[in-house]
Amino acid sequence: MKAAVLVFPGINRERDMARSLQLVSGKEAAMVWHTDRELPKGTDLVVIPGGFSYGDYLRCGAIAARSPVMEAVRKHADKGGLVLAVCNGFQIACEAGLLPGVLMRNARMKFMCKEVHMRVERSDTPFTRRYNAGSVIRVPVAHGEGNYVADAETLARLEGENLVAFRYASADGVVDPHFNGSMNAIAGILSEKLNVLGLMPHPENHVDPIVGPTDGRRLFESLIETLEAA
Amino acid sequence: MIPNEPKITPELVAEHGLKPDEYERFRKLIGREPSFTELGIVSAMWNEHCSYKSSKVHLRGLPTKAPWVIQGPGENAGVIDIGDGLACVFKMESHNHPSFIEPYQGAATGVGGILRDVFTMGARPIACLNALRFGDPKHPRTRSLVSGVVAGIGGYGNSFGVPTVGGSVGFHPRYDGNILVNAMAVGLAEKDKIFYAKATGVGRPVVYLGSKTGRDGIHGATMASAEFGENSDEKRPTVQVGDPFAEKLLLEASLEIMAKGCVIAIQDMGAAGLTCSAVEMGAKGDLGVTLDLDSVPTREAAMTAYEMMLSESQERMLMVLKPEKEKEAEEIFKKWGLDFAIVGKTTDTSRFIVRYHGDVMADLPIKELGDQAPEYNRPYAEPKKLPVLDPQSVPCSVSIVEALQKLIGSPDLCSKRWVWEQYDHIILNNTIQRPGGDAAVVRVEDGPKALAMTTDVTPRYCEADPFEGGKQAVAEAWRNLTAVGARPLAITDNLNFGNPERPEIMGQFVYCVRGIAEACKVLDFPVVSGNVSLYNETNGRGILPTPTIGGVGVLDDLSKSATLVFKSEGEEILLVGDTKGWLGQSSFLATVLGREEGAPPPVDLALEKKNGDFVRSLIGQGLTTAVHDLSDGGLLVALAEMAMASGIGAVLKASPAGISPHAYWFGEDQARYLITMKSADLPKAVAAASKAGVLLRHLGTTGGRQLTLPGCDPILVSSLHKLHESWLPSYMAGELAV
């Protein structure tokens, strides 16, 4: 795995991400500055991490999505390269058009940092092959704007093409439509070619057994397995 | 003189918060009438907030030294050695007045200011904590203040990217007109790479970094040094506006230029902005400083020298750089999109000179501005001792079960989940113990070392007996660190009091500080940084004396830390320490019976040390399965908290003869801990306790889903949990008749 973690001004979970990538893969990720126009040679995974790019003072992710480095990310994705976009990264990916829809203020208007459960909707993707479809995993969220919204047509397409990767749920797998207001309880979605995953929860914060649960670990193991198989 | 400047009149002097004799002192010092800008500068330097003029003489009595103290009070933050070449940098500071006027921005900039204090010293912030006090829940403003302050703390810390891992929230009518927002930040640095404010070298450029200067926060520090009247809303323009995004950039850029060896001296612009930072850098280095305001980056047109010198615009730094590294530093700042401007130079004249548009706006002796600030030994009244309340004299028709339900569902003792879930408490991936325990535990780098941290104070006790209350605040912080297995190292103190010009308030201050000093000495727990916030009163009524203590301790191996959660059924529950059933000033008395009476529990510091050292040693030997310190609400509330955190119940033995059950279950005797252990380890613990001379009492065993007390109906843990969790969310949703 040769991962590149993007760094925009105001991003703040890039260290957590790099550390978890290192912990699971044993390899150091490259940190890529937002003004770079090219990704490091041989990059096979781009990670857009969480944080508050440009303070989220405009629409979340809107400014970062227009950074020079995003052109290179778009090319990488067009060629089928893997992109993992977490939290603010998910918002940036939506703003950049890598994924459809948008993330709005949480229904209860407050920032929420807590552990939640989400149901893995499919296990035949590069990001989820080490999970079982229908299984429930525990992951933390830390966001104020994670309320996924899309127009009816887009939502129907996402559901029809089976592109919802994760949904907020109870511990026993019952979908929770009221968690943050997200349509269809969407916590994460995939691109049509299944090579871009955007999700609000932070799998990178649930990797290290010393700190807590490790349900996020298999997402990174899935990526390693995918890239090794390629 | 400078054209178009207001004439200095007694009224203008008074508006600047200077007393006539203070003004006279300044006039004599400079040997002439000051200019308007100079009056602004001296008002900023000599107000209570910046000069500590009423408190200094008493603060000198605090112990500040220990072999592990690298830097005590007097710098931006305190620094302690935590081993392995690492240092912990920490401080707590109040933002009470601004938060009352504008809760979101007041609290947000409180967090921003304290973070800046920590990274100015070269440390990367690894955690934030806070201590919040609000008025009566029934007061019409309380709900919106809670909502705004919590959102502000979260809004800043979450965006900046530091976990907010702990704190405390309390309510009392005495904070109705003057809430408390105390924010603490903890950072990590290499021990030999700490940066200080002291400038060296003559003719070196003084560099301004960070955000632009605007008109916000002018006279913020002066506002913070006055009491409130009816019209405090009019002071809204003195509150600064926070920009956590800019601060995050400033952090990264500052740490980068420090790592590249560019920095000689650095000082953040906090209270009184450019004035305090420039004077401090020069005075500490025995140098003069000349500022050229034409070079200061401004965000508003036509700002005057006066406004620039007093602006408290946030996210700004002043530095003296190594001349050969200036270019490199500038490039780093430009990369992060921040302003970088040379705004002055160091001189050998010992003068603080401010030039603007070709005029000299100020020309003052730099050292004297700080050293010659007025210092008062204000008259103080010795606090009256209250009689000890005989527990037998407290009639109570409320059952033990009802009292427990009332306590754990009360505003002060209920779960604060609603608050801390709005704070990102997991970012950086090092939060080992999250909010809700005795102390937060944060891993240091990749471990196994960890830091424990907590904020504590019991204002009821401090009001009733400032000396014992001051001792208790320190002892409780020490106890909370001990309860997670940490070795307590040092504290930061945030002393919140009313108007020091009133002898009874000054008496509270003096005796609280003496109590703190006494406890710090005995517990070997020095003060390394702190902040004094006086004039916390509205219309002549002071807050409860609230000396908040922020404690930091170290765990050499985080796998040997304890939590308060019951781990499994069939374990032994033991109480460390003696229970006499002290009800004076207890939560039980106040919350259940509505009486705030009597002397607070005395703190036997030698006993604290003995019992704490014993508990820490049991944790280190792996003999405990859970540990919890006893504080507000006493024994039964602590037991309930351990049960609620786990869902596991307990079967308890009867209260001993000779002590009333209410006093036994809810008394607040100090120096006590609850521990659980496996039955097989009991003999070892009993032997260790007898060897150490520590009182150990067997209370019962864990198990089931309810708390069972002899002679009482069993209480379902789940129903307690519901009560515990429901008060704050219901109150905030406006669903509660209070």
pLDDT at B237: 61
Question: Does residue B669 carry a pLDDT above 90?
Answer: yes
Question: Does residue B624 carry a pLDDT above 90?
Answer: yes
Check if B112 contacts A (Cβ < 8 Å): no
Average pLDDT across chain B, whole number? 94
pLDDT at B51: 87
Q: In sequence order, which ranges of B553-681 are alpha helices (DSSP H)?
A: 587, 605-620, 634-646, 661-666
Of A20, A57, A204, the CB nearest to B245: A57
pLDDT at B650: 98
Nearest-angstrom CA–CA distance, B78 and B655 = 45
The yes-or-no answer on residue A202 being catalytic is: yes
Please give the average pLDDT of every successive group of 10 residues along chain A, which has 230 residues: 97 98 97 97 98 96 97 98 98 98 95 97 98 97 98 98 98 94 98 98 97 96 94
The yes-or-no answer on residue B172 being catalytic is: no
pLDDT at B540: 87
pLDDT tens digits for B477-520?
Answer: 999 999 999 999 999 999 999 999 999 999 999 999 999 999 99
**pLDDT-derived band at B48, boundaries 50, 70, 90:** confident
Who contacts B446 (Cβ-Cβ below 8 Å, separation ≥6)?
A: none
**CATH number for the domain running over A3-229:** 3.40.50.880
**Smallest CA–CA separation between B100 and chain A, in Å?**
21
Question: Does residue B737 carry a pLDDT above 80?
Answer: no
Sheet with B450-456, strands from edge to edge, namely B431-433, B440-443, B450-456, B546-555, B487-496, B527-533
Averaged over B530-534, what is the pLDDT?
96
**Domain extents for chain A?**
3-229
Query: Quick check: helix, strand or coil at residue B48?
Result: helix
Nearest-angstrom CA–CA distance, A154 and A157 = 5
pLDDT at B222: 65
Nearest-angstrom CA–CA distance, B610 and B598 = 27
Of B243, B245, B430, the CB nearest to A211: B430
pLDDT tens digits for B677-719?
Answer: 999 999 999 999 999 999 999 999 999 999 999 989 999 999 9
> Residue B432 corresponds to which tokens in the numbers above?
């080992």
Judged by average pLDDT, the poorest of B107-121, B310-324, B597-611 is B310-324
**Smallest CA–CA separation between B474 and chain A, in Å?**
29
CA B14 to chain centre: 31
Chain A residues whose beta carbon lies within 8 Å of the beta carbon of residue B558: 210
Who contacts B358 (Cβ-Cβ below 8 Å, separation ≥6)?
A: none
Check if B119 contacts A (Cβ < 8 Å): no
Of B161, B245, B426, the CB nearest to A113: B426
Nearest-angstrom CA–CA distance, B99 and B131 = 13
Dihedral, B189, B192, B197, B201 alpha carbons, nearest 10: -150
User: DSSP class of residue B446?
Assistant: T
List all residues of chain B from 321 to 340 with a beta carbon under 8 Å from chain A: 336-337
Question: Does residue B233 carry a pLDDT above 60?
Answer: no
pLDDT at B6: 86
pTM metric for this prediction: 0.96
B715 phi/psi in degrees, rounded to 5: -115, 125
Q: What is the 3-state secondary structure (H, E, C) of chain A?
A: CCEEEEECCCECCHHHHHHHHHHHHCCCCEEEECCCCCCCCCCCEEEECCECHHHHCCCCCCCHHHCHHHHHHHHHHHCCCEEEEECHHHHHHHHCCCCCCEEECCCCCCCEEEEEEEEECCCCCCCCCCCCCCCEEEEEEEECCCEEECCHHHHHHHHHCCCEEEEEECCCCCECCCCCCCHHHEEEEECCCCCEEEECCCHHHCCCCCCCCCCCHHHHHHHHHHHHHC
Expressed in angstroms, the distance from the first to the final Cα of chain A is 11
pLDDT at B195: 96
Nearest-angstrom CA–CA distance, B32 and B248 = 44
**Smallest CA–CA separation between B661 and chain A, in Å?**
39
**pLDDT-derived band at B49, boundaries 50, 70, 90:** confident
- Considering B16, B58, B95, B172, which one is annotated as catalytic? B95
> Residue B116 corresponds to which tokens in the numbers above?
């800046």
> Residue B408 corresponds to which tokens in the numbers above?
């754990």
DSSP per-residue letters across B15-30: HTT--HHHHHHHHHHH
Residue A212's closest chain B neighbor by CA?
B432
Q: How many interface pairs between A and B have CB atoms less than 8 angstroms apart?
A: 81
Handedness of CA B151, B156, B159, B161 (dihedral sign): negative
Check if B9 contacts A (Cβ < 8 Å): no
Judged by average pLDDT, the poorest of B5-19, B62-76, B179-193, B425-439 is B5-19
For an interface test with B, the pick among A13, A16, A111, A112 (most B C-beta atoms closer than 10 Å) comes out as A111
Kindly determine whether residue B426 and residue A142, on different chains, have CB atoms separated by under 8 Å.
Answer: yes
Of B151, B337, B426, the CB nearest to A140: B426
Averaged over B429-439, what is the pLDDT?
96
**pLDDT-derived band at B655, boundaries 50, 70, 90:** very high
- Considering B16, B49, B58, B219, which one is annotated as catalytic? B49
CA A89 to chain centre: 6
In angstroms, the Cα distances linking B352 to B138, B290, B359, B598, B684 are 51, 6, 14, 54, 67
pLDDT at B271: 78
- β-bridge mates for residue B73, sequence order: B75
Query: Nearest Cα to B654, choosing from B695, B715, B685, B698?
Result: B698
Averaged over B417-446, what is the pLDDT?
97
- Considering A95, A121, A145, A204, which one is annotated as catalytic? A204
Kindly determine whether residue A10 and residue B425, on different chains, have CB atoms separated by under 8 Å.
Answer: no
Query: Quick check: helix, strand or coil at residue B134?
Result: strand
For chain B, percent of residues with pLDDT exceeding 90 = 88
Kindly determine whether residue A210 and residue B428, on different chains, have CB atoms separated by under 8 Å.
Answer: no
Question: Does residue B225 carry a pLDDT above 70?
Answer: no
